[in-house]
Amino acid sequence: MADKTFNLRIISPTRIFFDGDVDMVEMKTTEGEIGVLAGHIPLTAILEPGVLRIKQEENVREAALHDGFVEIQKDRVTVLAESCEWPDEIDVERANEAKERAERRIKSGKAEVDMLRAELALKKALTRIDLAGRK
């Protein structure tokens, strides 16, 4: 059974978010959703805000993953994340406020607004709201 698992390590600037053996991990990259099983071909990818799914035997855990990089090797996957949160760590009120601020900045159409940054803030807020609403 051990050959069907691999080590997953998720590191953020503030903590080691997760470190353990898993059956599968799913995440969102700039190229789309990716699912990784043991023995996956080596790959490095850029991550986008989205829900990360960790499968261990019959258990599935979800977390909000906000930007970063993933390095995939046959026997391990390392995620370097800007931030990662379990659903119970999400402040829904704060996420709703961030969503409203980002939407206002996008709708303003002002030249001084960094639209890429506003869109990224909106994606992060929506990911948090979505994940918190599932619990």
Domain boundaries, position 23: 2-85
Are 17 and 80 in the same domain? yes
* The token pair that represents 46 in the structure block: 């850029």
Rounded CA-CA distance 26/134 in Å is 17
Query: Measured between alpha carbons, how far is 67 from 74 in angstroms, rounded to an integer?
Result: 23
CATH number reported for the structural domain that contains residue 126 in this entry: 1.20.5.440
Residues 81 and 92 in one domain: no
For the chain, give the secondary structure using H, E and C: CHHHCEEEEEECCCCEEEEEEECEEEEEECCEEEEEECCCCCEEEEECCEEEEEEECCEEEEEEEEEEEEEEECCEEEEEEEEEECHHHCCHHHHHHHHHHHHHHHHHCCCCCCHHHHHHHHHHHHHHHHHHHHC
pLDDT, residue 1, reads: 42
Q: For residue 4, give Cα distances in angstroms to 1, 50, 55, 89.
A: 6, 25, 12, 30
pLDDT grade for 118, boundaries at 50, 70 and 90: confident
Q: Is the pLDDT of residue 112 over 90?
A: no
For position 42, what pLDDT does the model report?
95
Which one of 51, 68, 85 terminates a domain? 85
> Mean pLDDT score of the chain, rounded to an integer?
91
Quick one: 79 and 15 in the same domain? yes
Q: Is the pLDDT of residue 43 over 60?
A: yes
Q: pTM of the full predicted structure?
A: 0.84
**Region 76-88 average pLDDT:** 95
128 with 63, same domain: the answer is: no
- Assess whether 16 and 49 both reside in one domain: yes
How many distinct structural domains can be found in the chain? 2
